[in-house]
Amino acid sequence: MFTGIIQSVGEVAAIEPADGDVKLRIKTGKLPLADVQLGDSIATNGVCLTVTELPGDGYWADVSNETLSLTSLKGIKVGSAVNLEKSLTPTTALGGHLVSGHVDGLGKVVALARDARSWRVTIEAPANLAKYIAQKGSICIDGTSLTVNSVEGSRFDLNIIPQTWEETVFSHYAVGTEVNLEVDIIARYLERLLQSGVVPSSEGVTLDTLKNAGYRSD
């Protein structure tokens, strides 16, 4: 699990074919690696990848064809910037929201505009994910935990403050950029509850009904 608070912007240092899929080498920049071991997870543009080698200035990870087909990693190149976050520990401050690192789909940047000192970014989501995106709800974009400003159909707006703009890959975005989307896991649980009939749609959803359906907040 992750929080969606980006710890460093890394760089793709190598992409190597490996028996039909690929291996990635990521230089991690300011991300400290002293506590990272082989087998640990690092969210890379929001995709949970397993560390397979630690060359000193970064890590290697295997990327399956499934991951390549469903995420923006299929389009990265040597030199591409990537958001990085190490996985949660028992002492990690949950500054964003709970993020699994399992990408739900690809969105596309359709507009970028200055808004005072911030940037207003408009993203179009796939139709099957739009139902999970709510005004003032949480969403994860390329591993970054953000609050949705407004929603219109399958498009939604985000306000990116200067700190986030400068410390993530948002500053590399242009109209047409594909981004990894992970919707709020609670929205997924709510849909499952309603579909299963555990909670009739006419009744309210409580923490107890969420727990009974498998949701855990710890």
pLDDT, tens digit (0-9, with 9 covering 90-100), for 54-109: 999 999 999 999 999 999 999 999 999 999 999 987 777 777 788 999 999 999 99
Half-sphere exposure (CA, 13 Å, Cβ side) for 94?
A: 7
More confident residue, 175 or 192: 175
Interatomic CA distance for residues 130 and 133, integer angstroms: 5
Mean pLDDT value across the chain: 90
More confident residue, 141 or 204: 141
Residue 58 backbone phi and psi in degrees, to 5: 170, -150
Q: Which CATH architecture has domain 105-184?
A: Beta Barrel (2.40)
Contact 147, 137 (CB under 8 A): yes
**218 pLDDT higher than 60:** no
Task: Give the torsion sign (CA, 107, 109, 111, 117).
Answer: positive
Interatomic CA distance for residues 62 and 4, integer angstroms: 22
Q: Does 105-184 match 8-86 at the fold level?
A: yes
pTM for this model (two decimals): 0.86
pLDDT at 214: 58
Q: Residue ranges per domain, the chain? A: 8-86, 105-184, 185-218
Interatomic CA distance for residues 34 and 96, integer angstroms: 24
Residue range 207-217, pLDDT digits in tens: 665 566 555 55
Topology (CATH) of 8-86: Elongation Factor Tu (Ef-tu); domain 3 (2.40.30)
Pairing of strands 81-86, 144-152: unpaired
Average of pLDDT values for 111-135? 96
